[in-house]
A = this chain, B = another copy of it.
């Protein structure tokens, strides 16, 4: 089946280039050249560049979504009436994230970068797309966070939740550059797992501040 190969090659190439340069800065021609595919193939298989961006995103979103949902479903069945701690929640999410992007750091990078762009791009199509696909999962996680932090003012909880999201999106999407700086300044290498290991306690402490 050559059509599946073409679609996959386009997605792979787009993924790598998006992660490396951004979306507006990546042309269809650079994608199709890298994928060794004809220019028209993108519009034939995806319809438009916007649709391609969303398709790249969906490749993570789908599995990630299912994995988190499955973890939470499983937990609710095996241990109902147990209130999850912030650490537990973060662990579920982080585990799904690393499982989905397993073996390919750029997958995590592009996922986070897309997330950041979706929030920043004022009139962007990404924001609506993301909201549409993510909404129910977002609400479910937020409900768990609410249970884990019952004393927190709702407004403050909302913002702290997004502070967490921001930490993750920013640092994980520019992880490569930051790792280069760290190696340059401290002459110590560090891995993706190290960073996540640093991140989770930071987030948990932040949301429990005061």
Contact = CB atoms under 8 A, between A and B. Distances in A.
Contacts of A162: 170-171, 178
A151 interface: no
A116 to B, nearest CB: 6
Max chain B CB contacts within 10 Å: which of A21, A116, A166, A201? A166
A165 interface: yes
Nearest to A168: B166
A5 interface: no
Nearest to A122: B20
Contacts of A123: 20-21
A204 interface: yes
Nearest to A164: B167
Interface string A145-189: 000000000111011101111111111011011100110011010
A152 B204 CA distance: 17
Contacts of A121: 21-22, 25
Contact of A119 (B25, B177, B199): B177
A130 to B, nearest CB: 12
Contacts of A158: 181-182, 185-186
Contacts of A159: 171, 178, 182, 195, 198-199, 202
Contacts of A70: none
A1 interface: no
Nearest to A162: B171
9 contacts: A20-B123, A22-B120, A155-B194, A159-B178, A160-B202, A163-B202, A167-B170, A202-B207, A206-B209
